[in-house]
Amino acid sequence: MSDSAIVLRVTPSDAPEADLLLARYLDERASTFPPAQGVYARNRTPSASFTAPNGTFVVAWLDGVAVGCGGLRRIADDEDGPRFEVKHVFVEPHARGRGVATRIMDAVEAAAETMGGASIVLDTNDALVAAGAMYRSRGYERVDAFNDNPNATAWYRMTIGGR
């Protein structure tokens, strides 16, 4: 499947297709969460957090089927300007390796820049090796924890907007 077959649409995160993807994301994370870290906390960001001008949520489609999603929300203003956080990036297993996550990240990063963002942060778990590698390849640098997410073991930040 070529990258051109991927279609992204800004969608409310509580729309049926987004809701289904987020449920699958949380189910997968809960079932693969490292047992040594305890029980996965099923936290879902409220839909209102992903609305302009303070955020966005995108759903990725392949051949008319929703296969991935990701959101962006404004969380703070740093000395350099607004800071946004990437949340709930997920791609269905059968659609992985086709550039879907890359397109989702392209979209949320572009939205952060359009909304005047100075930086983007995100958290993940070191057990998600491919996710961490993708974030680092995009220019995210590991930083100290910026939240108390019990599921996270790694926190990242990237400066945007030519700053």
Average pLDDT over residues 83-102: 96
* pLDDT tens, position by position, 40-59: 999 899 999 999 999 999 99
pLDDT for res 163: 40
Q: What is the mean pLDDT of the chain?
A: 93
Full residue range of the structural domain in which residue 40 is found: 3-159
- Flag whether pLDDT at 162 surpasses 90: no
The total number of structural domains in the chain stands at: 1
- Phi, psi torsion values for 91, nearest 5 degrees: -130, 130
CA-based R_g, the chain, Å: 15
Residue 74's nearest CA partner among 123, 103, 105, 111 is 111
Nearest to 65 by CA among 27, 101, 94: 94
Within 115-155, residue ranges assigned H as helices are 129-137
Q: What CATH number corresponds to the domain at position 123?
A: 3.40.630.30
pTM score: 0.93
